[in-house]
Amino acid sequence: MKAFIIDKYKSKDDGRIGQIPVPEPKPDEVLVEVHAAGINLLDSKIRSGEFKLILPYKTPFVLGHDVAGVVTKVGTHVQQFKVGDEVYARPADYHIGTFAEFIAIKEADVAIKPEKLTMEEAASIPLVGLTAWQALIERGNLQKGQKVFIQAGSGGVGTFAIQLAKHLGATVSTTTSAANTKLVKSLGADVVIDYKKDDFEKILHDYDLVLNSQDGKTLEKSLHVLKAGGKLISISGPPDPGFAEEIGAPWFVKLIMRLLSSGVRKKAKRLKINFSFLFMRANGEQLKEITSLINSGAIIPVVDKVFSFESIKEAMTYVESGRAKGKVVIKIK
C-alpha cells in the first residue's frame, strides 16, 4: 500500500510516498481503509523532530493523526465494529500512520463517523475535537455562564473549541485577523480581538479559563486575563511535571520539563491560577460524544482545503504557514 514515510528526522526530503505492507489488525484492532486524513501542526513537529523528547518515534514510520474511512477487517476480540462500518479516529500515540491507504487502530480509539459528514469533513475532526473536549470539559470543567478565552479562533482547534464552548453556555472571546472576524463570529465568538492591532491583555479581564495555543510571550500575558482561581490550559507548551508523570517519562525528561515550565508555574502560583499543559490523547468514547454533537448540528466542521495524497508535502507546508481557516485534509481514496 502507499504511505507517507519518514525515514529520518529533519531530512532534506521531509518524507516520501512509498510502498509498505498492509498491516494485519491485532485482536483488539480494526483495519481501516483510509478515505481521508486530516493534517495537523503536530505532524510537522513530529516530522522535524521537535517532539522527539516527548514522542521518540523509531524511524522509519508513517505520519498522520486523523483518519476517516471504512472498516475492512476486525480483530478477533473486537465487538463494537464490523466490516463496512464508516468510522473516524485519532489513533493513539505510537500507533499513528493515517497518511496511508490502510491503518490498524485499537477499537477503543475508534467511533462511528458522523452520518451527515463527508469523509473529508470527518477526517478534520478527531484531533482538534478531542483537544477541545479534553481542555474545556475534562480539565477545564467549563460551566454555563463562565468566560473563556480561546486563542487563534480561526485555526483548527479554535474553530472547534469556540463551538463547543458556546454549546456549553460560556461567553467566548478569541483572537484572529480582521479577515477572519466574520468566520469566528459565525461559530459563536462573542468578543473578537484583532491580534494585529489590539492587545488582548488590555481588553479581557476576570476570565475563568484560557486555552493557550501560542508562544511563550502570549502564554505569560494570558495569566493576566484570568481571575484568581482561574485555569490556564496550554496545548503548545511548555510541558509540566504533571505531563511528565502522565507519560511515564524518564527522570532526565521529567527534570527538563520541570525546568521548562518553572517560570510560568511560579507566576501562575503567585496569581493563584491553575496552569497545566495538555497533550491530547486518543479516546473513542469522547469521540462518540463529539459525534452526537455533530449529528445534532451543535458543531460543524470547518475545512479550508482538501489536497490529493500526492500533494501531501504542499498540504503540510500550507498548514505550517498558519494561514489555514479550520482544517486541511488530504483525500486518499
Q: 52 and 41, same structural domain?
A: yes
Cβ atoms of 330 and 306 within 8 Å: the answer is yes
Examine residue 185 and state whether it is found in any structural domain, yes or no: yes
151 is in which domain, residue-wise? 127-277
The answer to whether the bond into 238 is cis (omega within 30° of 0) is yes
Q: Is the peptide bond before 60 cis (omega within 30 degrees of 0)?
A: yes
Residue 232 CA to its chain's centroid (Å): 17
Share of the chain above pLDDT 90, in %: 93
Residues found in the chain: 333
Give residue 125's pLDDT.
Answer: 98
> pLDDT category, 320, cuts 50, 70, 90?
very high
pLDDT tops 80 at residue 1: yes
The CATH number of residue 57's host domain is 3.90.180.10
Residue whose C-alpha is closest to residue 313's, from 33, 63, 21:
63
CA 99, chain centre distance (Å): 16
pLDDT recorded at residue 196: 92
Q: Are residues 154 and 114 both part of a single domain? A: no
Count Cβ neighbours within 10 Å for each residue of 199-237 and write b for 16 or more, e otherwise: ebeeebeebbbbbbbbeeebbbbbbebbeeebbbbbbbb
Same domain assignment for residues 16 and 82:
yes
Say if CB 186 and CB 126 are below 8 A apart: no
Whether residue 132 sits in one domain with residue 73 = no
Q: Is residue 295 situated within a structural domain?
A: no
Q: What is the mean pLDDT of residues 32-36?
A: 98
Regarding whether 253 and 327 lie in a shared domain, the answer is: no
Whether 258 maps to a domain, the answer reads yes
Query: Does residue 282 fall inside a structural domain?
Result: no
Q: CA 207, CA 142: separation in Å to the nearest integer?
A: 11
Residue 15 has pLDDT above 70, yes or no: yes
Per the CB < 8 A criterion, the answer to whether 116 and 183 are in contact is no
Give the helix ranges, DSSP H, for 80-226.
119-123, 126-133, 156-167, 181-187, 200-203, 216-222
pLDDT digits over 46-102, tens only? 999 988 888 999 999 999 999 999 999 999 999 999 999 999 999 999 999 999 999
Q: Based on the domain organization, do 172 and 225 belong to the same domain?
A: yes
Query: What's the pLDDT band for 215 if we cut at 50, 70, 90?
Result: very high
- Using pLDDT thresholds of 50, 70 and 90, give the confidence band for residue 29: very high
* Span 151-161, pLDDT tens digits: 999 999 999 99
174 touches 198 (CB < 8 A): no
C-alpha radius of gyration, the chain, whole number: 19
The CATH number of the domain holding residue 173 is 3.40.50.720
Q: What's the rounded Cα separation, in Å, for the pair 283 and 246?
A: 15
Q: Record the cell numbers describing residue 149, joined without a space.
A: 478565552
Spatial contact of 20 and 1, defined as CB atoms under 8 Å apart:
yes
Work out the number of other CB atoms within 10 angstroms of the CB of residue 126.
Answer: 30
In a domain, 287, yes or no: no
pLDDT per position as a tens digit, 86-139:
999 999 999 999 999 999 999 999 999 999 999 999 999 999 999 999 999 999
User: Could you tell me if 174 and 211 lie in one domain?
Assistant: yes
Q: Please check whether residue 145 lies inside any domain of the structure.
A: yes
Residue 12: its pLDDT value, please?
A: 64
